[in-house]
Amino acid sequence: MTTHFIGVDIGGTNIVCGLLDERLNLLRKTKKPTGAANGADYVLNLIASMIDELLAREQLTRTDLGAVGMGNPGFIDPVRGISLSSANLKWENVPVSEKLGALLGGIPVFIDNDVRMYTYGEAAAGAGRGYDHVMGITLGTGIAAAMINNGQLYYGSGFLAGELGHVPLDGESALCGCGMRGCLETIASATGIARIAREKLERGESSILAEWFPGERRNEITAADISRAYDEGDALAKEVLQFVGRHLAKGLAWAITLWSPDVIVIGGGAANAGERLLAPMRETLMPLILPMYRNRIVIKLAEMNDDAGVVGSAAFAKTRVSA
Amino acid sequence: MTTHFIGVDIGGTNIVCGLLDERLNLLRKTKKPTGAANGADYVLNLIASMIDELLAREQLTRTDLGAVGMGNPGFIDPVRGISLSSANLKWENVPVSEKLGALLGGIPVFIDNDVRMYTYGEAAAGAGRGYDHVMGITLGTGIAAAMINNGQLYYGSGFLAGELGHVPLDGESALCGCGMRGCLETIASATGIARIAREKLERGESSILAEWFPGERRNEITAADISRAYDEGDALAKEVLQFVGRHLAKGLAWAITLWSPDVIVIGGGAANAGERLLAPMRETLMPLILPMYRNRIVIKLAEMNDDAGVVGSAAFAKTRVSA
C-alpha cells in the first residue's frame, strides 16, 4: 500500500482538488465552483466530497491518504490550521484543518495561504526546483509574495510576512483594495495593468486598444489584451508594460535585498506578459541592487501555473506528516 | 566547574572582548586597537591573547570555556566560519573559526557579521527580549539590518540578506560607499546625517551649527552635534532629522512588510538622536504599512549599545555548542 496526498487550491471562484501519489505525481484533478456564498460548512463539505470522488476514481479509499494540504486566500494561521480572515471567501476564524479533518474521518489537514502554497509547488517541482532560496510572487488580481529557505517557508510575526503588493510607491496614488494609495498592487497586478491602459485611453492617447475596445467596452480590457496589442507594435501597450516593469523592479529590489533569494519565480495572470514585462523590469532592477545580488539572482517565469497551488499544498502536507 | 563563554566584537578601529558566565552575565571586558594594518594573523593572535588575559584575571583557564563567538564587519560565511570579505579589516577569505580555534587549543569559534551579533544580543538580553520576531538595525557609519525569528537568524542566499542600507531611494543621488547613488545609508547613517547638515550650511542656510563650526570646521560636525542643535531649537537641525526620519521610514516600511517583525530595535551612533529622529520616522511610516502591521509593530531604541555585540556573540556561540 502506497500513501497518497491531496492538494486543494481554493479561490473565491473555483476549488481545484488534486490527487497525488507518494512521489507527488499529479494523478487526477477536479474543479468545481466554490459557492462561497453558501458558507464555510458548505464549502468544506464540498471539498470533502471532491476528495472522496477523486479517491473513488482511482479505486482508493481514505485509508490510502497520508494528508491533505490546502492553499487558501487571505490570512492563515498554518500552525493552528485556521483561516483567520478571507475577504474572497468571507471567512473569519474558520478552523479549516479541524473541520475538514473531521469530515474526512481524521486525516491530517494542513493549510497555508495561496501564494505560499503556490511558491512551495514551484520550489518543489517547478521553476524553483534545485534552488535553496526561492521567492515566489503572483501577479494576479492582487500581488503577494512568499519566501522559502531550504524548504522552510518564511512567516514572520503573525504569519504576515510577504505583503509585497502593499507598500505605497513614491509618486503613485491609485486607491488600493487595502485602503492605502499607490501600492505596487495597484500597478503590477493584472487589474493594475488593465487600469493603467484604460486611463491612458481615457486621456485620449492613441492605441490599437481603442479600436478593439471602443467606448465603454474599454472596461473589458484585460492584461492579456495589452500583451496582444504590444505584439502588434502598439506604443501605448509598450509604455504600459515598461511603466509596470519599472515599478515592479522597485519592489523586487527591496525583496532581493532583504530576503536574498537565489531565484524569483513570477506567476499569476500578469506574468503571461513574459519578457514584455520582465525585460523593462530587469533594466530598472539591476542598478537598484548591490552587485553581489545582481550577479547571483535568477528571475524566471513560473512553470506550473494552474497546478502549482495543488502540488504545493500536497507537498507541504507531505512534509508535515513526514516531519 | 561552570562553562564560560567569550564574545568578541571586532571593528576597523577596536576589538572588544568580553567574558561571560554560563547564564551570559558579562563578567569582564577588555578593549584594544585592532591594528588591522598588521594583517589577519596579527589580529587573531591579539584576540587570543586578549581572551587568555580575560581568563587569567578571573582565575580561569581555557578549559573553562565552552565556546567563542565573534561579530565581524563585512561578509561572513557563518557555517564555515570564514570572513569572506571585509573592507574595514582588509580581509579576504580568512578562515577565522579555524585559525582562532587553533590558537586557542581547539575551542569552538563561531562567527557572524556584526549587525547579526548585535541583534542577537539585543534579542537575547536587550530591547528585543521577550519578542519572537526581532529585527535589528544599526545606524552607524553605515546601515545594516538583521532579522531573528524564534531565535534563528535569517540569512538567505549567500548569507547576504538584510542590506537595508543599500537600495537607492527615489529622488536621492548622494554617492554611496557601495558605488550606487541615493542609498538609505547615504541619508540615515551617522555620516549621512552629518553630510546633509553640512550641505545645508554650504548652501548658506542659517543654523546655530554655523556658529559652532565656522568655515572649514563644518567638516567636524557629527550626528551628535545635530541633536545638540535640535535641542537648542535650531530649525536646520530639525529639518535634517525630519528628512532623515522620513527616508528611514521608507526603508522600514519594506522591511516590516517583507519580514514582519514584532519589534524593531534601532541602534548605532545615529540612534542617539532618539525621538528627535524616531518621531518624524513614525509619522511617515504608519501610512506606509498595512493596518495589521501598524497595530502590532513596536519600535524601540537599543538598550545594550556597546555590549550588544559582545553579549550577542557569546549567546550565539552558546546556542551553537548547545545545539
Residue A254 pLDDT = 98
From A42's Cα to the closest Cα of chain B, the distance in A is 29
Half-sphere CA count of B205, side-chain side, radius 13 A = 16
Nearest Cβ partner of B156 from A75, A133, A155?
A133
Cell of B77: 560565511
From A3's Cα to the closest Cα of chain B, the distance in A is 33
From B219's Cα to the closest Cα of chain A, the distance in A is 29
Q: Which pLDDT tens digit goes with each residue over B27-58?
A: 999 999 999 999 999 999 999 999 999 999 99
**Nearest CA-CA partner of A270 in A195, A208, A198:** A195
Mutate one of B183, B260, B296 to test the A interface: name it (highest A CB count within 10 A). B260
d(C-alpha B292, C-alpha B190), whole Å: 31
Burial class (CB in 10 A: 0-12, 13-18, 19+), B132: middle
Residue B323 pLDDT = 66
**A4-121+306-322, CATH topology level:** Nucleotidyltransferase; domain 5 (3.30.420)
From A145's Cα to the closest Cα of chain B, the distance in A is 9
Contact (Cβ atoms closer than 8 angstroms) between residue B302 and residue B274: no
**Nearest CA-CA partner of A10 in A110, A101, A99, A113:** A113
**A130-303, CATH topology level:** Nucleotidyltransferase; domain 5 (3.30.420)
- CA-based nearest residue in chain A for residue B256: A161
Contact (Cβ atoms closer than 8 angstroms) between residue B267 and residue B307: no
Look at domain B129-303 and name its CATH class. alpha beta
Phi, psi of A200 (to 5 degrees): -65, -40
- CA-based nearest residue in chain A for residue B259: A161
- CA-based nearest residue in chain A for residue B131: A157
Nearest Cβ partner of B157 from A132, A145, A288?
A132
Domains A4-121+306-322 and A130-303 alike in fold:
yes
**Nearest CA-CA partner of B113 in B149, B158, B168:** B158
Phi, psi of B239 (to 5 degrees): -60, -40
Residues 6+ apart with CB under 8 A from B116: B71, B78, B136, B146, B153, B162, B312, B316
Complete DSSP assignment for A17-68: EEEE-TT--EEEEEEEE--GGG-HHHHHHHHHHHHHHHHHHTT--GGGEEEE
Based on its alpha-carbon atoms, the radius of gyration of chain A, rounded to whole angstroms, reads 20
- DSSP, res B101: H
Nearest Cβ partner of A166 from B161, B171, B257?
B257
List chain A residues with CB under 8 Å of B291.
179
Report helix angle B190-202 to B223-231, nearest 10: 60
Annotated domain spans of chain B? 4-121+306-322, 129-303
- Could you give the strand order of the β-sheet that contains A298-301, starting from the edge strand earlier in sequence? A152-153, A143-149, A133-139, A263-267, A298-301
Cell of B112: 557572524
- DSSP, res B141: S
Q: Which pLDDT tens digit goes with each residue over B210-244?
A: 999 999 999 999 999 999 999 999 999 999 999 99
d(C-alpha A261, C-alpha A34), whole Å: 34
Residue A305 pLDDT = 78
At residue A209's C-alpha, the angle toward residues A208 and A211, to 5°, is: 70
Chain-centroid distance of CA B165 in Å reads 12
d(C-alpha A19, C-alpha A319), whole Å: 16
Q: Which pLDDT tens digit goes with each residue over B66-91?
A: 999 999 999 999 999 999 999 889 99
Contact criterion met (CB < 8 Å) for A257 and B149: no
Contact criterion met (CB < 8 Å) for B180 and A296: no
Mutate one of B155, B157, B247 to test the A interface: name it (highest A CB count within 10 A). B157
d(C-alpha B161, C-alpha A260), whole Å: 5
d(C-alpha B157, C-alpha B134), whole Å: 20
pLDDT by 10s per residue, chain A, length 323: 579 999 999 998 999 999 999 999 999 999 999 999 999 999 999 999 999 999 999 999 999 999 999 999 999 999 999 999 998 899 999 999 999 999 999 999 999 999 999 999 999 999 999 999 999 999 999 999 999 999 999 999 999 999 999 999 999 999 999 999 999 999 999 999 999 999 999 999 999 999 999 999 999 999 999 999 999 999 999 999 999 999 999 999 999 999 999 999 999 999 999 999 999 999 999 999 999 999 999 999 999 978 999 999 999 999 999 86
Residue B322 pLDDT = 83
Residue A1 pLDDT = 57
d(C-alpha B149, C-alpha B231), whole Å: 37
Contact (Cβ atoms closer than 8 angstroms) between residue A27 and residue A21: yes
d(C-alpha B98, C-alpha A138), whole Å: 44
d(C-alpha A24, C-alpha A297), whole Å: 28
Beta-carbon pairs below 8 A across chains A and B: 118
Residue A217 pLDDT = 94
Regions in chain B scoring below 50 on pLDDT: none
Across-strand partners of A299? A264
Contact criterion met (CB < 8 Å) for B167 and A288: yes
**Nearest CA-CA partner of B146 in B309, B283, B26, B13:** B309
Residue B320 pLDDT = 93
Interface of A to B at Cβ within 8 Å reads: 75, 132-133, 145, 149, 154-164, 166-168, 170-171, 178-180, 250-251, 253-255, 257-262, 287-293, 296
Contact criterion met (CB < 8 Å) for B258 and A162: yes
Residue A323 pLDDT = 66
